Amino acid sequence: MISKTKKIKQLVWTSLFAFSVLILGILFFTQIVFLNKYYEIYKTNQLDTIAHEIKQNDDLTISELEDMSYEYGICISIYTNNDTKTVSNLYNRGCLIGDSKTNTEFIANFIESDDTEKTYLLKNSRFGNSNLVRAIKYGNNLYIFLNTSIQPLDDSILILKKQFIYIAGFLLVVSLLIVHFISNKISKPIENISTSAKKMANGNYDVNFSTKSNIVEIEELSDALDLAKKEMSKTDELRKDLMANVGHDLRTPLTMIKAYAEMTRDLENQTPAKRKENLNIIIEETDRLNILVGDILDLSKLQSKTYELNIEEFDLNDLIKEIIRRYYILIDNEGYEFVYENDKSIMVKADKKRMEQVIYNLVNNAVNYTGDDKKIYINLTEKKKTVLVEIKDTGKGIDEKDIKYIWDKYYHNEKKHKRNAFGTGLGLSIVKTILETHGYKYGVKSKLGEGTTFYFEISKSK
């Protein structure tokens, strides 16, 4: 089976060479093959122009006709109705009328006919050339004959043919050089880009798509591929981190579940209290595993846009207080303090379940990274159409250069995974996806040593 695809270099060569041949073919046919025909048409149009001028002027003099004959390079003869020749302007060699060898029967035939105008194509036996004769009835008794010679152009055509062969050869050589230059100029950068793209497809992200080219589209293509390479490299790195971190988070609870299950099975004299403690650990680790799987599924569903938001009105104040109550164990047993001073009902409009995830994940993140004072600040600021929600911790803060990475899955400071006391490492990525799905503004403010504040705006209910 013959492939229909072609390399760009081959395509450029074929196209430009075919274009050169086409141009030469057009020149050959117009300048050589159809030259005689074109010359005849030109002379016919010339006679039409002169005949029109004569018919438009009712008072022509012989002097004016002589000037016209000289200007256009034609012969003009005038006859009366009794076949008496009044004047013949034979300024041009090869004219038919006035030649002693010319058969002038057509003159008498036209005078005797009722025609007012007629064109004849006649052969001059003396010079062997063709002549165009335009007969015009001018007034009642006068007949004007316009005669122009169509000189044979065979000698001129022969000269042009020989000249054309040299010109065609020269132009083909020049066109081949131009084709070679243009094809290399276009195809070489694209071939380099293609080679780099194949390397990148095999997982090599050290390739460089930048190429020297004066073609805007190729420059834009190389820039776009360089950008794609950077994003794919980052995505690949995140993918590797995700696999490593998910594997870590899955392996740890599974290992502990197995260890405590084996301990409970193997220790025959285990006390009920010890057995209960082991089983509680198994349950906790199972819950952690269930949360991780749930977060992965939630994130996958949100990012694939298969989840539809269920917009409803609810009290944001009640929702935040409910989330804080979930941390009563930390408050009572570990000394965490949640600073939230709002008592006013604030009605908002959003997907309540998803906004609960957002606030819970941000609070959970603050719990994991707050400072030694174990304080978490939650603040609401009402605006005209939105409510600004701020959740702040008192931890060590985030370096400015790392802020743009914190929304990535499993991102942690210093690029090292740390198994959180609460959550799975997917929380901020879920927060970002939910807020973007709602179309809400969000962000983070942080200074090293002064803590971090996450914030977002939610629409108020009308």
| Residues paired with 452 in a beta bridge | 446
Q: Which of 321, 305, 302, 310 is nearest to 431 (CA)?
A: 302
| SS3 assignment, position 461 | coil
Instruction: Write down the pLDDT at residue 413.
Output: 46
Amino acid at 160: L
Identity of the amino acid at 178: I
Query: Per-residue pLDDT for 419 more than 60?
Result: no
Which of 25-29, 174-178, 412-416, 427-431 shows the highest mean pLDDT?
Answer: 427-431
pTM score, whole prediction: 0.45
pLDDT of residue 9 exceeding 80, the answer is: no
Report the candidate in 115, 120, 144, 148 with the shortest Cα–Cα distance to residue 54: 144
Give the model's pLDDT for residue 404: 80
Q: What is the mean pLDDT of the chain?
A: 78
Please, what is the end-to-end C-alpha distance for the chain in angstroms? Answer: 68
In the chain, the percentage of residues whose pLDDT exceeds 70 is 76
User: How does residue 416 score in pLDDT terms, banded at 50, 70 and 90?
Assistant: very low
User: What would the pLDDT profile of 102-136 be if each residue is shown by its tens digit?
Assistant: 677 888 888 888 888 898 888 777 666 778 888 88
**pLDDT tens column, 317-346:** 999 999 998 888 788 888 999 999 998 999
DSSP strand pairing (442-447 vs 451-459) = antiparallel
Residue 256 pLDDT class (50, 70, 90 cuts): confident
Q: How confident is the model at residue 89 (pLDDT cuts 50, 70, 90)?
A: low
Say if residue 396's pLDDT is above 80: yes
What is the per-residue pLDDT across 263-315, written as a single tens digit (0 to 9) for each? 777 776 677 887 787 787 788 778 767 767 776 676 666 666 656 788 999 99
